[in-house]
Amino acid sequence: MKLFRVVKFWIINARYHALVQSLLPALLAVCLAAREETFSPGLAFLAVIGVELGHLGLNLFDDYFDFRRQNSGYRDLMARAGMRARIAKCPYLTSGAANLNQLLTACLVFCGLALLAGLAIFLDRGHPIIWLAAVMALLGLAYSGWPLRLSYRGLGEIEIGLVFGPLLMSGVFYSACGQFDPALLLIAVPVGLLVMNIVYAHAIMDLEPDQRIGKMTLAGLLGSRPARLVMLALVLGLPYVLVGLGVASGRMNPANLLVWLTLPLAAALFKLMLQYVRDPARPVERRFWMGPMNRWEVITANGIEWFMVRWYLARNLLLFFCLAIMAASIIG
């Protein structure tokens, strides 16, 4: 029972709710690979498990590097000062429930288990999976780790789009069927953009707190409100344009145009973000068509519905986009 409590403690602190950003692209890659004769359900399962364990480990590494840089209690201090900041990023550290050495151990355990899954795949599929995993791991650590600290240089969102889109989906696809398909990029790039969108929308809403601690996100790097909104429009719109071009060129099945059914969600998110940029204090309402938003009573009780409705909407956009591609692969 003690081991179960320890595992649960670290999974919660590793922000398991963010796993959707890696799980959906991974499952989509498995779905696409399942059409190949060389598809292996066992290796596909190992790839997805490895990706999720690695994601948990890198989330904790992000906390570790950020906390080493400076105490992460800054969000609590700003919230008490009246700023529209979220709750503390690392409450388990600021409260004393865990220390940095324990955090580092948890990081290494999660990443070590992910490595074991990768080694099992390597024994069957060969060295390409090692190179892909190594690139993903290095970029993941570079998000907030020394010496690159991409999330402090305005490049973190772009790095996340690359890792959780083309790299992750290519790695899982190769693990599952033992081959690379250049056409996969026609789907992986749009998916990566929508994963990037989740983090970018987050960065726009957390702009002031991030600037207070000297963290340069892409939203801060762009400098002006119009530039941030143009970037948001590109990140939200390009996935639909790319799929449309893929279908028009004959490289994608017309069934993939099902993703255009999710356009209203993208438009709603852009409208809500535009509203936030112009008037952050304006109340927002949750609509049923925005998709699932769990624990809403707790969220409203904590007064963070202004943040979570937009975060959930960005997540649900990715969810329904991936489901549409999965449906298209079955139809096709």
Closest by CA position to 115, among listed 53, 23, 181: 53
pLDDT value at residue 318: 98
Give 287's DSSP letter.
Answer: -
Q: Is residue 32 within 8 Å of 173, Cβ to Cβ?
A: yes
- 71-130 pLDDT per residue, tens: 555 455 444 444 444 445 678 887 889 999 999 999 999 999 999 999 999 999 999 999
* Whole-number Å distance between alpha carbons of 28 and 56: 19
pLDDT at 70: 63
Compute the distance between CA of residue 130 and CA of residue 136 in angstroms, rounded to an integer. 10
pLDDT value at position 85?
A: 46
CB atoms within 10 A of CB 100: 12
- The percentage of residues in the chain with a pLDDT greater than 70, rounded to a whole number, is 93
pLDDT at residue 215 in the model:
79
Residue 57: is its pLDDT beyond 50?
Answer: yes
Chain segment 82-94, per-residue pLDDT in tens: 444 444 567 888 7
Question: What is the model's pLDDT at position 258?
Answer: 97
**How much is the pLDDT for 71?**
56
* pTM strictly above 0.85: yes
For 164, phi then psi, to 5°, come to: -85, -5
The predicted pLDDT at position 23 comes to 97
The answer to whether the beta carbons of residues 296 and 286 sit under 8 Å apart is yes
Q: Taking a C-beta distance cutoff of 8 angstroms, is the pair 189, 167 a contact?
A: no
pLDDT at residue number 148? 87
Q: Which pLDDT belongs to residue 78?
A: 45
End-to-end CA, the chain = 47
Residue 321: the pLDDT is 98
How does pLDDT run across 151-183, given as a tens digit for each residue?
989 999 999 999 999 999 999 999 999 999 999
So what's the pLDDT on residue 80? 44
Q: What is the mean pLDDT of residues 219-228?
A: 94
